[in-house]
Amino acid sequence: MATEGGGKEMNEIKTQFTTREGLYKLLPHSEYSRPNRVPFNSQGSNPVRVSFVNLNDQSGNGDRLCFNVGRELYFYIYKGVRKAADLSKPIDKRIYKGTQPTCHDFNHLTATAESVSLLVGFSAGQVQLIDPIKKETSKLFNEENSCQHLGKMDWNEDSKTSEEALVIVQRLIDKSRVTCVKWVPGSESLFLVAHSSGNMYLYNVEHTCGTTAPHYQLLKQGESFAVHTCKSKSTRNPLLKWTVGEGALNEFAFSPDGKFLACVSQDGFLRVFNFDSVELHGTMKSYFGGLLCVCWSPDGKYIVAGGEDDLVTVWSFGDCRVIARGHGHKSWVSVVAFDPYTTSVEESDPMEFSGSDEDFQDLLHFGRDRANSTQSRLSKRNSTESRPVSVTYRFGSVGQDTQLCLWDLTEDILFPHQPLSRARTHTNVMNATSPPAGSTGNSVPTPGSAAPPPLPRSNSLPHAAVSSAGSKGSVADGAIAAGVSKFATLSLHDRKDRHHEKDHKRNHSMGHISSKSSDRLNLVTKTKTDPAKALGTPLCPRMEDVPLLEPLICKKIAHERLTVLIFLEDCIVTACQEGFICTWGRPGKVGSLSAPSQATPPGGTAV
């Protein structure tokens, strides 16, 4: 795939890059793909996706990898940076006829060395529950008859392949493509499915879908969303139907404690819900075009979204507002993810930390257990001149421009307690300060609780459900006060809107909103917010009204558009649409299998 011009250096695919932690190296021996290693012809195919699970077996090699390429689904032992990948021995390989897998997710709670539950969503709207270890297909959801599901042919032990033919019957729940499927955190049986129709459905694997189309009754309705329950004499799937915004619901993500749900849609809106109470917590609008991806910080305080405006946008959960944007991609951003293993916390005044030693160690290592990352308790600032802890969040993004970008979100963006000398950040960043002195270390920052007078927030819908989230393990703990990091990535160059669009060159996307996307923007259902008038408001600040992040690194690492970015403890995993899953060893984690010494300066890469 062609990329923006700029000579050989611009078009060269990088195999290593350097950050302040050291040298990251591509490990060719750890590349996973189809067994023949032939690049996949990706025209018209669904994005390649990757899912991981750890089976906690006694061998110490419990990591398992699942990925889809075209109409094929593979399940391998993932050896990471330790050993070379053996592509000749997949644990399970499935080839589907009549449909293609689009997304998948493991149930980490029930996974064992003998059995694992894997949900797979399909382009024709079905969701399949399979066990790739036992090579079983247990259920198919969103079909006319749950017994008439994908008919599995005989397992071929020589080729390690099973073929499944789709029984063509009417899909009674939703006929559109599955865009995202995830197990509900903490549940062994509940899962949530999003479709390109803009609907989400909550299922229970223990219930049937019924043989007739479901009838719904309204449970709750709000600004641009509605939730219905399934009306039937006996409990059946789906348990709930969510209708969110206008156009496709491209991705959703649960908060680290599972209490909140962030959704991004083709209408360009991020919507954050309290999952249990079905209440809208807050919204954000993209600069233009649809939003394609979303993720939470490990402590649940911030959300990053990316999409068709080529930007990464950082949104504060506590303040319900945009606190920064990042510009580095030249095309649509397809995946965003936080790196919990690089996010750093430094204590600058031990006397102001009110938590125990265990709490502070929890904070330093909150990435090692994302589900319990919010258990750390930090004292808040008592004034704008006292900052006990310095925090830097690391996140990454990949896009259709084939580039990987890494970003640092530093305390001068999170807590701009003093007005900067440039007009660029003025008062729009001032209400990111923590709540006044006297509030407890585990309280929930809510809109309007900051010390300075808050800006009007038409995108925030305060309600009782938010305040109830202040219990142990809540998503939004008190804001972490911080000291200035020398690795700040704030750029203070003024960029006018027209200058931004003039420099907006791309080879993999259009330089303007498509007419289809524009129509969606004007048809947001049940919303009081006119997207055309959102620019310049807290819902969608202008470019000059919020800090602009510049990437730490921005490297071309593939020939085709990138579709996967996953941060693991000893490596980073990326994948492109050609079907190659690549492992990048972290500094000091490569081991004996690395070819050159890490002391060798990187060739052809820039810091």
Q: Cα angle at 337 between 333 and 338, to 5 degrees?
A: 140
Neighbouring-strand partners of residue 122: 101
Q: What's the pLDDT at 213?
A: 86
- Distance in angstroms (rounded) separating the CA atoms of residues 145 and 170: 9
pLDDT at 346: 66
Do the Cβ atoms of 539 and 527 come closer than 8 Å? Answer: no
Q: Extract the tokens encoding 208.
A: 């049937």
268-324 residue pLDDT tens? 999 999 999 999 999 999 999 999 999 999 999 999 999 999 999 999 999 999 999
- Dihedral sign for Cα 371, 373, 376, 380, please: negative
**How much is the pLDDT for 533?**
80
Q: What is the DSSP string of 22-44?
A: EEEEE-GGG-B--TT-PPP--TT
Which residues fall within 8 angstroms of residue 32, CB to CB, at 6 or more apart?
Answer: 65, 67, 74, 76, 78, 85, 87, 580, 581
Helix (H) or strand (E) holding 581: strand 581-585
Residue 602: cis peptide before it, omega within 30 degrees of 0? no
**Per-residue tokens: 172:** 């009674």
pLDDT number for residue 531: 65
Burial annotation 44-63 (CB, 10 A radius, 16+ → b, else e): ebbbbbbbbbebeeeeeebb
What residue segments make up the domains of the chain, in order of their start? 257-346+389-416+539-556
Q: How far apart are CA 366 and CA 342, in angstroms?
A: 10
Domain 257-346+389-416+539-556 sits in CATH at 2.130.10.10
> For tokens 């680290």, what's the residue?
256
Place of tokens 């945009």: 322
Report the 10 Å Cβ neighbour count for 5: 9
- pLDDT score for 385: 43
Which helix (H) or strand (E) is 530 found in, with range?
Answer: none
Rg (CA), the chain: 24
pLDDT-wise least confident of 206-215, 335-344, 359-368: 359-368
Count how many residues are written for the chain.
607
Q: What is the pLDDT of residues 83-142, one digit of tens each?
A: 899 998 899 999 999 899 999 999 999 999 999 999 999 999 999 999 999 988 778 998
Alpha-helical segments (H) within 245-299: none
User: What is the tens place of the pLDDT at every residue in 137-173?
Assistant: 778 998 755 434 444 444 454 555 555 544 444 578 9
Residue 191 structure tokens = 């899962």
φ, ψ dihedrals at 274, nearest 5°: -75, 115
Contacts of 597 (CB under 8 A, 6+ apart): none
Q: How confident is the model at residue 61 (pLDDT cuts 50, 70, 90)?
A: confident
Q: Residue 14 and residue 601: Cα distance in Å, rounded? A: 14
For 447-466, what is each residue's pLDDT tens digit? 333 333 333 323 323 333 33
| pLDDT for the residue numbered 269 | 97
Q: How far apart are CA 401 and CA 262, in angstroms?
A: 25
**Cβ(64)–Cβ(77) below 8 Å:** yes
Nearest CA to 536 among 461, 456, 460, 462? 456
Distant-in-sequence, close-in-space partners of 326: CB < 8 Å, separation ≥ 6: 311, 312, 313, 314, 397, 405, 407, 489, 548, 549, 550, 551
Higher pLDDT, 353 or 187: 187
CA dihedral 332, 333, 334, 340 (to 10 degrees): 180
Question: For residues 216 and 238, what is the distance between their CA atoms, to the nearest angstrom?
Answer: 10
Three-state secondary structure call for residue 328 = coil
pLDDT of 488 higher than 70: no
Per-residue exposure over 81-108, b if at least 16 CB sit within 10 Å of its own CB, e if not: beeebeeeebbbbbebeebbbbbbbbbb
CB neighbour list of residue 481: distance below 8 Å, 6 or more residues apart: 378, 379, 380, 381, 386, 387, 388, 389, 411, 415, 434
Burial 292-326 (b: 16+ CB within 10 A, else e): bbbbbbbbbbbbbbbbbbbbbbbbbbbbbbbbbbb
φ and ψ at 463, to 5 degrees? -160, 170
**pLDDT at residue 360, rounded to an integer:** 38
pLDDT score of 448: 35
pLDDT score recorded for residue 591: 65
pLDDT of residue 9: 56
Strands, DSSP E only, in 83-189?
Answer: 92-97, 101-106, 118-122, 127-131, 136-141, 151-152, 162-165, 178-183
What pLDDT is recorded for position 388? 52
| pLDDT band (50, 70, 90) for residue 47 | very high
Rounded (to 5) percent helix, strand, coil in the chain? 10, 35, 55
Whole-prediction pTM value?
0.73
**Region 49-78: what's the mean pLDDT?**
90
Looking at residue 589, what is its pLDDT? 86
Task: Supply 294's token pair.
Answer: 């979303």
Handedness of CA 293, 298, 300, 303 (dihedral sign): negative
Reported in sequence order, the residue ranges of 447-528 that DSSP labels E, i.e. its strands, are 490-491
Structure tokens at 96: 């589907």
Q: What is the DSSP letter of 219?
A: E
